Amino acid sequence: MFNFIIKRIGIAIPTLLILIALSFYLMHAAPGGPFTSERPLPAQVLANIEAKYGLDQPVWNQMTNYIWGILTEFDFGPSYKYHDRSVNDIIGQGFPITMKYGFWSFIVAIGVGIPLGAIAAIKKNTWIDYLAVGISIGAQVLPNFVMAPLLIIVFTLWLGWLPGGGWNGGSWEYLIMPVIALSTSYMASIARITRSSILEVLNTNYIRTAKSKGLPTKTIFFRHVLKPSLLPVISYLGPAFVGLITGSVLIDIYFSTGGMGYFFVNSAFNRDYSVMMGITILVGGLTIIFSLIVDLLYAWVDPKIRY
């Protein structure tokens, strides 16, 4: 197990470095620096600004400084557009918001998806099954950017129950629609995966043995079926996490929740490269950590895997 963790970290570190190098290179390949504007600045002013941000140094020096700053002080440098703010400052403002509704979306996707899939599998070929499968197929073609406007039409414009956007410190009525919009398609995928894997487990010999020795259905289900059939679900959690964090960009834009995605898209329009890079690297790091956790969880649940 220890070796496995070391090996995984051995992959994670080069991945992060490649991500940093790639985004750094892209940033410098961009035509026009962050301070080119329609009205050209006097040469001396431009030189001074570039000196302040260290842009006059060789690219290699800039990159090592940047990486060093992240490693030692967790410092992503200054924002190029908001002169009084650092990237850390901006991330610090948006990140907690993203985490809050992201966390709830994750919980909803798992908490609704697994029971839905399980019920469909147990009641196979009944109307309950068809309903659950119908819901999960339908939800798959309803990604967040389709769900979000539909939810607003129904709950804000027609029914007038929920506010159409904003955050308000994350109180529940502002949380409901972002969470539903973000989690629906992942909930559907989890339900589908759970259903098919439970059906597969139900066909195995050891379940037949358990049945023939007269165990009650409930015991069979909770003790013998559930755990092995959750393995495919666990390996889906990694992609689901990436999907949720990507989807949060859209949620922030459409519901004006003010999370990290808002700053990411804003800086994409403003060409505020340092903010984009900082957020990309942070998201990459989170993804890597999360997939490590998922792998460990997988190893813990599956007795066949020994590292």
Partner 1 sequence: MIVANKNKIVEMANNLSENDSGTGRSLWKDARSRFIHNKAATVSLFVLIAIVLFSFIGPYFAVWSNEQIDWNAMGIAAKVGMPSIESGHFFGTDDLGRDIYSRVIQGTQISLMVGVLGATVAVVVGTLYGATSGYLGGRTDQIMMRIVDILMSIPYMFVLILLLVVFGRSIGMLFIGIGLLSWLDMSRIVRGQTLNLKNKEFIEAAKVTGVSDFKIITRHIVPNLLGIVAVYATLLVPGIILAESFISFLGLGVQEPSTSWGALISEGAGTISYDTEWQLLFPLAFFVVSLFCFYFIGDGLRDALDPKDR
Task: Answer for the pair 86, 76: CB distance below 8 angstroms, yes or no.
Answer: yes
| Residue 9 contacts partner 1 per CB under 8 A | no
Strand partners, 78: 86
Contact with partner 1 (CB under 8 A) among 234, 271, 298, 301: 271
| Residue 280 contacts partner 1 per CB under 8 A | yes
| Residue 119 contacts partner 1 per CB under 8 A | no
Concatenate the DSSP letters of all residues of 211-266 into one string: HHTT--HHHIIIIIIHHHHTHHHHHHHHHHHHHHHHHHHHHHHHS---SHHHHHHH
Positive or negative CA dihedral for 32, 38, 40, 46? negative
| Residue 21 contacts partner 1 per CB under 8 A | no
Q: What is the CA radius of gyration of the chain?
A: 24
Q: How far apart are CA 278 and CA 94, in angstroms?
A: 12
In the complex with partner 1, the residue whose CB is nearer, 98 or 210, is: 98
Task: Answer for the pair 150, 141: CB distance below 8 angstroms, yes or no.
Answer: no
Reduced to 3 states (helix: H, G, I; strand: E, B; else coil), residue 78 is: strand
In the complex with partner 1, the residue whose CB is nearer, 15 or 86, is: 15
Q: How far apart are CA 119 and CA 276, in angstroms?
A: 43
Binding to partner 1 (CB under 8 A) within 72-91 occurs at none
Stretch that binds partner 1, among 34-42, 56-64, 207-215, 242-250 (CB under 8 A): 242-250
| Residue 140 contacts partner 1 per CB under 8 A | yes
Contact with partner 1 (CB under 8 A) among 90, 116, 291, 294: 291
| Residue 18 contacts partner 1 per CB under 8 A | yes
Contact with partner 1 (CB under 8 A) among 153, 168, 172, 293: 153
Positive or negative CA dihedral for 105, 107, 112, 114? positive
Minimum distance of partner 1 from residue 275's CB (angstroms): 11
Q: Residues in the site for partner 1, rule: CB under 8 A?
A: 11-12, 14-15, 18-19, 22-23, 26-27, 29-30, 137, 140-143, 145-146, 148-150, 152-153, 157, 164, 242, 245-246, 249-250, 253-254, 264-265, 268-269, 271, 276-277, 279-280, 283-284, 287-288, 291
